[in-house]
Amino acid sequence: MKEKLIPKKIVEELNKYIISQEDAKKNVAISLRNRYRRKQISDMKLKNEITPKNIILIGPTGVGKTEIARRLATITDSPFIKVEATKYTEVGYVGKDVESMIKDLVSITFNKLKVKKIETLKEKYQEVTFLKVAKLIKPYGTINPDEKNILLDEVKSGKYDDQEIEVEKHQNSDAPMVEVFATGNEPDEDGVKGIIDNIMSSFPGGKKKIVKMSVKNAIEYFLRTEIEQNIDLEELKPLAIEKVEEDGIVFIDEIDKIAEREGSNSEVSRQGVQRDILPIIEGTTVMTKYGSVRTEHILFIAAGAFTQASPSDLMPELQGRFPIKVRLNTLNKDDFVKILTEIDFNLLTQYRELLKTDKVNLSFTKGAIEEIAEIAIDLNEEIENIGARRLAGVIEKILNDIMFEAPYEKQTTIKIGKKDVVKIFNYDFVEENLDNYIL
């Protein structure tokens, strides 16, 4: 975490994406800053004794619990995984092992490091690749230095992309180059889409053959070959483990659903799941394919609605490992209006930009935005309170016909007013079709 990310700055960043919930934002910011403070302590014995102050966020769905944790990880570039407590089962039952949350976190972190490493190598060897291809288009011995530079620039510009050239290729390297991109929070063991398999398939060895391919494909082939010869994935394993141990964040959602409830006859003991999660949070060693991981300095943020249970229904030992408990507020109409207008990359901005690609200039009046917020509140009260998530369904309904009719032949300006929103959401219609809004 960067030194400049003091608690006030962290909250300022969170304010760009999350409305209200000041108490929750303040507490997670302090927890993050304490991580940085701990790293500055030189006394190793004392340093090892300082563990994160884990947090339980209490509140209904759609008020920002997950978003707070996710944005926190993004701001600090921390390894992050979201898991659901209900997916895990007590040891001895069929189900997901609680240690898998740590294994998945390490896999995600390793894959992100791998993507960065490959991108670095692509930048490093791109010039070498262009040079190799240029020599195959016109042997350098046949042209003067000025012509060489012109040819190289033309290759870079894509002028020769469709021209065929002959390339000496290993017979086991026929797999096409696949563009590298991150896979987000999915714990995909392969991580980088196809690239490593392709690299391994073209590893030097076996008979060579001369093949014809386009210049564009030749550039990809030579770049892939340079990466395979220079990448060292083994060096990334200890880096991934260190990053997880020092900066990892595990968000455990629905923790209230594994709390003991009076009269519950759950087939798999909720308390058993709590007992299995406890050592992970207390601090234990988890064996992963990348090496062993200590968990005592990973930050755990738990969340739950706690409508049928309370944090005190959790095991006392587990409660003790979550010393900070923060209750989040139910969002009101004003909050919904701010979510639609003040946060970065809000829903209205997203739809405006989407439709702009189809020559539609979309805008909403202040009255329309307030009406959207009011309708979302009403639907939450009449059906089920899913918080700010309701806004997406309301806006989608309003823009349904517009998005279907686009693109238009010429530039079109559409302004959505309060009357337009009311017309679509007349309450007789809503009462007869509530099922349409149940997510």
Cis ω before 407 (30° cut-off from 0): yes
What average pLDDT score do residues 40-46 get?
A: 92
Q: What is the mean pLDDT of residues 339-346?
A: 94
The closest of 366, 340, 292 to 106, measured between CA atoms, is 292
Contact 270, 23 (CB under 8 A): no
Q: For position 96, what pLDDT does the model report?
A: 72
Residue 46: pLDDT band with limits 50, 70, 90: very high
CATH fold of the domain at 7-101+245-327: Rossmann fold (3.40.50)
> In this model, does residue 142 exceed pLDDT 90?
no
- What would the pLDDT profile of 213-261 be if each residue is shown by its tens digit? 999 999 999 998 889 888 899 999 999 999 999 999 999 999 999 887 6
Assigned token pair, 421: 């929103």
The pLDDT of residue 283 is: 93
3-state secondary structure (DSSP) of residue 414: strand
Mean pLDDT across the chain, nearest whole number?
A: 85
Q: What is the pLDDT of residue 261?
A: 66
pLDDT at 168: 85
> Which range, 114-123, 227-236, 305-314, 361-370, is most confident?
361-370
Give 306-338 pLDDT, tens digit per residue: 988 899 999 999 999 999 999 999 999 999 999
Residue range 407-422: average pLDDT?
91
Looking at the DSSP bridge assignments, the partners of residue 299 are 249
pLDDT at residue 87, as a whole number: 86
Task: Output the pLDDT for position 185.
Answer: 47
**pLDDT tens digits for range 160-214:** 999 999 888 765 554 444 444 344 444 454 444 455 445 444 444 456 788 899 9
Report the pLDDT averaged over residues 97-111.
94
Determine the length of the chain.
Answer: 439
Q: In whole angstroms, what is the distance from residue 431 CA to residue 419 CA?
A: 19
Q: 150: Cβ–Cβ under 8 A, 6 or more apart, which residues?
A: none
pLDDT at residue 184, as a whole number: 44
User: Can you give the pLDDT at residue 207?
Assistant: 63
CA 268, 270, 273, 279: dihedral to nearest 10 degrees? -150
Q: Per-residue pLDDT for 153 more than 70?
A: yes
Between 107 and 177, the higher pLDDT residue: 107
Domain extents for the chain?
Answer: 7-101+245-327, 108-237, 333-429
Q: Helix, strand, coil proportions of the chain in percent (round to 5)?
A: 55, 15, 35
pLDDT at 348: 96
pLDDT score, position 196: 47
Region 31-36: mean pLDDT is 90
CA pair distance 258, 97, nearest whole angstrom: 15
The predicted pLDDT at position 80 comes to 95
Candidate from 155-159, 192-196, 378-382 with smallest mean pLDDT: 192-196
Residue 97 is predicted with a pLDDT of: 84
- Of the ranges 62-66, 179-183, 203-207, 274-278, which one carries the lowest mean pLDDT score? 179-183
The domain defined by 333-429 folds into: Helicase, Ruva Protein; domain 3 (1.10.8)
Of 25, 61, 37, nearest in space to 380 by CA: 61
Q: Is the pLDDT of residue 355 over 60?
A: yes
Handedness of CA 431, 435, 438, 439 (dihedral sign): negative
Residue 364, CA distances (Å) to 300, 340, 373, 401, 408 in order: 40, 10, 13, 16, 19
- Average pLDDT estimate for 103-108: 96
DSSP-derived 3-state class of residue 381: helix
Cα separation of 175 and 196, whole Å? 11
E strands present in 143-275: 164-170, 208-214, 249-253
CA 225 distance to own-chain centroid: 30
Q: What predicted TM-score, i.e. pTM, was given to this entire model?
A: 0.79
Mean pLDDT of 280-304: 95
